[in-house]
Amino acid sequence: MNEAGIARRGRWFARRQLRLAGARLVHPKARFGTRCDLRSGLHLLILGRGAVRIGQSCVLDREMTIECRGSLLVGPHTVFGHHVTIGVRDSVQIGANCLIAELVSIRDHDHGFHQFDVPMLLQEPLSSPIVIEDDVWIASKATITRGVRIGRGAIVGANAVVTSDVPAGAIVGGIPARVIGQR
């Protein structure tokens, strides 16, 4: 590598360290592991007893949004694409070595809607924990809904809406997502 390349790499590393230090300072309820790469525009809102734990060497790409009232736990070496949204009211666990592509939505809660005489806006939200095990790939624009467990090594296809558990090693796609193959 020539001198210009070394200088560019040094500036990139310094910017990465500054963003990580800034996030740790601004968000004391969040814990970021070593060597995390936080890209520009991270929107992090931690309310009440919310807690965010991001493992080492994770990448949080541009304009990622995390809204957390509960517990978000992310294992090491997990990569999030740009504009990913994670909403946590109860609990979301994401394992190690996962790939979460751009524009994915992961939310452990939904609007209450069972009382017809009460506007949905005023009904208590429904929430159930989400567990995404290790080595899962969630492709672009997929949606993961409350109460879902995605097994180790599974693949969720682009634009899929996951409303029920996904077995380990399964490939799912569609709306609602269904098994379309096996690894």
Structure tokens at 162: 């996951």
Strand pairing class (109-110; 126-127): antiparallel
Catalytic residue from among 77, 82, 111, 114: 111
138 and 104 in contact (C-beta within 8 Å)? Answer: yes
Is 111 considered catalytic here?
A: yes
- The CA distances from residue 49 to 32, 46, 65, 68, 90, in Å, are 17, 8, 18, 9, 10
Burial class (CB in 10 A: 0-12, 13-18, 19+), 49: exposed
166 and 151 in contact (C-beta within 8 Å)? Answer: yes
CA nearest to 99, candidates 151, 62, 135: 135
Burial class (CB in 10 A: 0-12, 13-18, 19+), 42: buried
Q: Is 21 helix (H, G, I), strand (E, B) or coil?
A: helix
Residues with active-site annotation: 111
